[in-house]
Amino acid sequence: MIAGPCAELRRFAVAALVDPVARDHGEGDRALRRRRVVAAATFLVGSTVLAVALRIPGGDPAFYAATAGLAAVWTGGAFASGPLHLGRAHTRAGTDPARPVVQSLALGALLVGVFLVGALVLGRIPPLRDPVERLLDHARLGSLLLVALLTAVNGVAEELYFRGALYAAIGRRHAVAVSTALYVLTSLGSGIPLLVLAAPALGLVTGLQRRVTGGVLGPIITHITWSLGMLLLLPTALRIGS
């Protein structure tokens, strides 16, 4: 009874995060140099806008414009850098690779579960809880629907850039490690400990998805699932924890 689920979980992990799908997305030297220049410029601008946006007080309408602008920076830089690919994943049946939808939803849900458990502890530590509460004030004091929409849009934009343009700009060697490290570096500017703690886990999982699938669709679905799950469920977890 125990071996079955464990073996199934292992097969899922290998298919989703370990075993790459065959593809040919090679680029010439000139295209790679151009991608690196655009990715570097986008990183500097996007990191600055992120730091500004997440310091806007809850309920201030400027937050909506700032986060929409941030999404535009990540997305514009991603598409300006060069071609992006959706990617394909292994299927449970072992047939031809398919779009990585179900795997990604499952990974996103697992991440939500892990972080909600962590939030039960976080709620007891005011220096860690308070910055998160201030971030959640944008949904409490403003429009939850609009904040949710911007959260989803920014999740897509971040993955287009970090697991799309930036990942491709790094090259094949150490792309997961370097893109994750830069993602963590960007999160430092938020001044929110939870986002800094979340960045390595989310960056690593989506980076491994990018390596396996060769595209951004899987990381996008995982990121949106995690982001919206945290937005909607984290306040309750923090209340229980406190």
What's the rounded mean pLDDT across residues 125-147?
91
What's the rounded mean pLDDT across residues 119-147?
90
Amino acid type, 190? S
Confidence check: pLDDT of 96 > 90: no
Q: What is the pTM of this model?
A: 0.94
Tell me what pLDDT residue 11 has: 85
What's the rounded mean pLDDT across residues 29-33?
91
Burial class (CB in 10 A: 0-12, 13-18, 19+), 9: exposed
What's the rounded mean pLDDT across residues 91-120?
90
Specify whether the CB–CB gap between 163 and 91 falls below 8 A.
no
Q: What is the mean pLDDT of the chain?
A: 92
Identify the residue with better confidence: 72 or 189.
72
Q: b/e map of 167-177 (b: 16 or more CB within 10 Å)? A: bbbbeeeebbe
- Residue 1's pLDDT band, with cuts at 50, 70 and 90, is very low
Tell me what pLDDT residue 93 has: 66
What letter would DSSP give residue 179? H
pLDDT tens per residue, range 145-179: 999 999 999 999 999 999 999 999 998 889 999 99
Question: How far is 21 from 214, CA to CA, in rounded Å?
Answer: 7
Confidence check: pLDDT of 91 > 60: yes
Sign of the four-CA dihedral 34, 165, 95, 2: positive
Q: b/e map of 113-126 (b: 16 or more CB within 10 Å)? A: eebbebbeebbeee
Confidence check: pLDDT of 10 > 90: no
